[in-house]
Chains A and B, each alone.
Chain A
């Protein structure tokens, strides 16, 4: 079932379709909203190969850890906004250094069930983590901040108010074949890509932010096809409102899964501040 959440500032659509030949869906997604209206969401793609038999558990923990840490980060971001130039700098460092490390270490503790114990004492740590291997992409959006983190494959696509489309976390070198960086990699926090923009003004936040596992983009023969798909989602939300797209998303993901053969998960956050008053959601009201 497609889920549409109408939050204070954002409409959020999220859904996942199991790959046609898969025994279970190894993708996970999560969306959380704070009382201040800050939005935190994530998708994770469990690797699924025989050496990662518990990757569905790994992906679930990854999005749970992200949303918990993301909310704490959003609180720190709000505090930083009111603490002068030093606050911005600390937040920048926080996003690039503290968050990646915290996400990976918390995830390790959760999948291994070792809360409170020293990971340094864990024997054969990486062998223990490998069964849970997963990717992670997560976003935090507050009034004055847009931050995102990515480890491994998958897509973060940003559509700005002028319709321009960017992918700020695309790796410098494309990953080859099915090899991807993972939460179970050595010093995985060093492999995490980070995007942190501090606009300080809600009017400059993106119009749409879309996260998806690689099952979606891999279903298109060319990268352009995926980009057109995202543009089309944005255009249809503008024209028909989020509820109409909400209804269709389930079918699109299932169809994508038939082409890629993979689980397919997407979370789309649409900025309600930029939605025209004649949009579909308003008509529903």
Chain B
């Protein structure tokens, strides 16, 4: 179907920069997205449907453009664009192809891994936290707005044109199945904001890790027609968590909800507890919702302690401080827990436990008590578990920083490890990493 803007249409930004429409990229609930070319290079242009190109929408996007947000986890509105006739839109970067939508994940059309999914969850939490810390509420968190790289868990938050300053009132309340119950019910005084974003964020996290909606259990099957009234009941008036420990009215159906029955036990207790808190107490009282910092801490810990099954090679999420090995979710063999690297920051003291699995890596954020974000790229690499090139099965910790490490074995022997050098892995080995101290523990 032809788009609202024909290929070749000339448009200008508010600042007078010219561009030409080169093709339709897609369409959504508010408008269409086009590829445009101009002096600024190739960009994406979101152009609103006539019914959505309201003065209120203009004000929201105009305000967002003015904020000049440059966080690389968001496709942020960069410039307002107007056309020869009425109507408007905004420019943003084009979404790189490596980022895929969550519906592809839910349809199992993506090859990904537990490591990538946990990383995506962590990045997602930090992205929204960054937004909230600037006093902006997203107000429309849903699976339609988040894209992730199935290889490494990088995330990209799109459709940011409904975000407004905390406390500002607009017409957008979100997507029903992600909306906080008080918004769904239309409670007096309830309005979309960071507090309600926390509910949506938890729903999205649950779906990312379990491939299922947290409130869709048996009660869902009793609904003949999922119209607005039914949705209000399911997500607002009588919301019940599918794994509510004290109320099994909406527990998963063994036939229909097999996926979540299989995925939930693979989630370690540290995360399960947060989900239960959010979808029991947090449904009834917004102040009991899980904060971004809680999610961030738990997801970071879980990511650091993923264990690869020695029998089948599948990644397993494990309870971070647990010393007893569990069984592999896939082959049911007992997991072999690799040694732990306990990293303790200097001031304030924060302890992190990393399982030294194959190719385990220590990053700069491990050395900080409260890092602003977790970066798993090569730039932040501090140390890496490597196998001895001539002695298979012998491992060491390679120094990937630009400074020399001081190390000490349990027998008191000291050793300096220059950049690029490797220190053999032994129980009790201590490594001075500058901002933190690391110790290798057998279990």
Contact = CB atoms under 8 A, between A and B. Distances in A.
Interface of A: 81, 84-89, 91-93, 96-98, 101-102, 105-106, 109, 116, 118-120, 124-126, 146, 158, 160-162, 171-173, 186-187, 190-191, 196-201, 204-206
A106 B231 CA distance: 17
Contacts of A102: 225-226
Contact of B57 (A85, A106, A187): A85
Contacts of A86: 171-172
A190 B223 CA distance: 17
A190 B226 contact: no
Interface of B: 1-4, 27-30, 49-52, 54, 57, 104, 106-107, 109, 144, 171-172, 175-177, 218, 221-227, 231, 253, 255-259
B403 to A, nearest CB: 46
Q: Is the interface of A mostly helix, strand, loop or mixed?
A: helix
Given A119-B221, A204-B4, A88 B29 contact: yes
Nearest to A192: B107
A85 B54 contact: yes
A92 B30 CA distance: 9
A87 B257 CA distance: 31
A192 B426 CA distance: 53
Nearest to A126: B255
10 contacts: A81-B51, A85-B51, A85-B52, A97-B226, A98-B227, A119-B222, A161-B2, A162-B2, A190-B107, A198-B29
A88 B175 CA distance: 12
Interchain residue pairs A-B with the least CB separation, the first 4: A92-B29, A120-B221, A85-B52, A89-B29
A85 B30 contact: yes
Most buried by B among A84, A87, A88, A191: A88
Given A198-B49, A204-B1, A191 B259 contact: no
Contacts of B172: 86, 89
B22 to A, nearest CB: 14
B97 to A, nearest CB: 12
B258 A91 contact: no
B140 to A, nearest CB: 9
Given A85-B51, A96-B144, A118-B221, 7 more contacts: A85-B171, A97-B177, A118-B222, A119-B222, A120-B221, A171-B109, A196-B27
Contact of A92 (B28, B224, B253, B255): B28
Contacts of B3: 204
Nearest to A186: B258
B219 to A, nearest CB: 8
Given A85-B54, A120-B218, A186 B1 contact: no
A87 B177 contact: no
B180 to A, nearest CB: 16
A84 B54 contact: yes
A93 B176 contact: yes
B1 A101 contact: no
